[in-house]
Structure 1
């Protein structure tokens, strides 16, 4: 009887400790990128976001530039959503996978960096936005095929952040989207110099198996496996090991699937010779159901779902409600800044993955 009572007391104390910890810790940020329709953005539950990121602004010569026909209306509508969620920050993003063709040569020049920083501030003031997210893919290493890159990009990226912070002051937020894979982490950024000047870094811990891969695999796993070491946990652990403050790290989740066509049907298509076939938004995941010939599996080591159709030899890697809940809990357990995802337009307008994040956080805070 005493043993049972002691067990109950220990369990109660642990519960109280976790509750106090959750109540004392700041609620994590929830950040969604958006590149979709300017009208449909209002259909999403933006009340569940802390940040909404306009994707993407462009670099025209040495200035931040918005396409007047499309971009201007979208950004205006995104800022207008702050009436529904006054505490939400609306950020503008530069670049994207194919949007930084001239970043390397332009940002190599100090005068260009100053002009760019001034143009960013003007855009933020004109539209009533709250900061900039740099999505340069990638400084110092190869990114989009044909885009220029140089070893000097690493130092120039630091200088760019410095120019932006000097121009924007403390009024506006600065973040950047960082590759979640080893080469980027080790070569692209001078973390010691950059992190004190930014509010957070959005880790793109997705596309870790890219469209250029010849082997199928988890493109956004929580943990590493022997077959594929890249993962959310590996990126976070490595950055923590070099002194990057974890309370500035934002974990990245995928609201879409990457589908590969495998050469055979062994191991349900996982880690097999394959070629990338297509992407699929979470809102269209009915195409991955049993009725479509797919079977869902769970990798207990990677803590990641995947599906396979043996008839078409299609392998799908993605986040779903189970893995999103685990990633959200990981943010809390490791005291990270928050969770972000690409992208809101891929989600369901209701009952989607953003709702899973919100529901999970409500249980923790």
Structure 2
């Protein structure tokens, strides 16, 4: 729980947590103990063995079935990685494209959105460097009928991402469930113990089937945009869900990871989460420290997507919309430093200025910008825009917030660069936090277009900059 824990000490903390809470959880939850989601499997195995011994006339057929089962088991063993050895220790020694070896003890948690059907070029799992991230969250599965639902495209992508573990056995693969939107299935699933138990059974099945290292819950957000009279206990139910998932991990002696994505604005945190309860049950929290400012009818002015600090002229509520305030707010509410993972975006927010001659932060805006869509623009598209209008684009760095913005005529964009991403990673190290979260690999420059004039240009420059900055050791090969 302290600020200076090593990875080995973190392992001891997890083991201690398991020992301290296992008896408590099992004794205080008779219903879950009696049901024992997986004890029935052992009973069925014993029954099957008895039937086998009492029906000798079917020995030949059964031996054939056993042989087929053995072949299938070997296929699974050699084609899907084991999850039983999943570790909270993320130390690794890697070689990257630049020829530099990095040892990273921090979490670098990268979200990967699975491709959607269609001819549009999209990031494929095979293009992801297996050593780029310590953890990859494959996003986003939904919840249907209280169970995890994956469509065909998500299934294919998930299985391909898992194969990256062949090239980097230390890589952790998690399935992220939920995402933005109101139809994620969380409200109906968390509402009572029976429905949560159905979901947890589904979780265990998915973890085993795909050889995953854990799950990431991204409910946006408990108690927000709902009728308080109907869902007045969503935040409590969410805490109960986290507890019950952790309890199942402990009961089955599994070291699967349990993480979650959480809002950054304090106005949401105060109604959506019991932070002290979250701190007990999750391995870490991916804090979404971005989207602090975006165009809307309520905020018709330019603003910074993911500022590290508040600007000197910002007061009251506006002064809370930054990474530094969010980190200390979570610390004050009871989240350990070792469980805070700071979100770093690979996309920007666009605005259309009212006056082309007024391009500062906080200038009046008439709507979204023309680049990208709905106010969002990926980093490589920003690079192309700068390259195309190089002499006309004005790029400025906010000295307080430590992030850049640009404008050209009426187009105004807040975004991150490799330099600003490294600033945030250095902040993470200085504050001794658990690590960084990248959202997302899809919006990073995965084709290397931002540096096309350089032979062998670096791909994923934002994520790679974070990885470099978080490295404990950098040495020449």
Whether 1:62 and 2:62 are equivalent positions in the alignment is no
Residues 1:237 and 2:315 are matched in the alignment: no
The answer on 1:306 being equivalent to 2:405 is yes
- Residue of structure 2 aligned with 1:294, choices 393, 406, 411: 393
How many residue pairs were aligned? 337
1:340 matched to 2:437: yes
Q: Please list, as runs of the form range in 1=range in 2, the aligned pairs for 1:1-365 lying within 5 A after superposition.
A: 27-37=105-115, 40-67=124-151, 69-98=152-181, 100-142=183-225, 150-169=231-250, 170-212=254-296, 213-225=299-311, 226-227=313-314, 228-229=318-319, 230-265=321-356, 267-274=358-365, 275-277=367-369, 278-289=375-386, 291-292=388-389, 293-309=392-408, 311=409, 313-349=410-446, 350-351=458-459, 352-362=461-471
What SS does the corresponding residue of 2:261 show, helix, strand or coil? strand
Gaps of 5+ in 2: 1-90, 92-102, 116-121, 370-374, 447-457
CA distance in 1, matches of 2:139, 2:259: 14
1:268 is paired with a residue of what secondary structure?
coil
Residues 159 and 360 from structure 1, CA distance in 2 versus in 1: closer, same or farther, beyond 3 angstroms? Answer: same
Mapped contact 2:146–2:188 kept (Cα < 8 A):
no
Which is higher, the Rg of structure 1 or of structure 2? 2
For residues 244 and 87 of structure 1, the distance between their equivalents in structure 2, rounded to whole angstroms, comes to 26
Q: 1:78 and 1:99, CA in 2 relative to 1: closer, same or farther beyond 3 A?
A: farther
Evaluate the alpha carbon distance shift between residue 300 and residue 363 of structure 1 in structure 2; reply closer, same or farther with a 3 A threshold: farther
Structure 1 unaligned residues grouped into runs of 5+? 1-22
Higher strand share: 1
State whether residues 104 and 471 of structure 2, in contact with CA within 8 Å, keep that contact through their aligned partners in structure 1: no
Distance 1:161 1:266, change over 3 A: farther
Give, in angstroms, the shift of residue 267 of structure 1: 4.5
1:138·1:149 contact (CA, 8 Å) conserved in 2?
no
- Shift in Å at residue 28 of structure 1? 0.9
Measured against aligned partners, the alpha-carbon deviations of 1:309-349 in whole angstroms (never above 9, x if no partner) come to 1x2x1111111111101011011000000001110111223
RMSD: 2.4
TM-score by length of 2: 0.67
Deviates more, 1:31-40 or 1:134-143: 31-40
Tell me how far 1:100 sits from its aligned partner. Answer: 4.0
Contact 2:138 2:158 survives alignment (8 Å): yes
State how far apart, in whole Å, the 2-side matches of 1:202 and 1:218 are.
Answer: 20
Q: CA deviation at 1:171?
A: 1.8
> What is the CA distance between 1:116 and its match in structure 2?
0.5
Aligned-partner Cα distance in 1 for 2:362–2:397: 14
Matched residues in 1 for 2:197 and 2:257: separation?
Answer: 17
8 A contact 2:142–2:178 mirrored in 1: yes
The answer as to whether partners of 1:253 and 1:341 remain within 8 angstroms in 2 is yes
Q: How far, CA to CA, are the matches of 1:149 and 1:82 in structure 2?
A: 44
Distance 1:307 1:323 in 2: 14
State the Cα deviation string for residues 190-225 of structure 1 (Å, max 9, x = none). 011121110000000011113534221001111112
CA distance in 2, matches of 1:140, 1:28: 32
Task: Output one character per residue of 1:90-128: Cα deviation in whole Å (capped at 9) or x when no partner.
Answer: 000111112644322331122111110110110010000
Counterparts in 2 of 1:56 and 1:267: CA distance versus 1, 3 Å = same
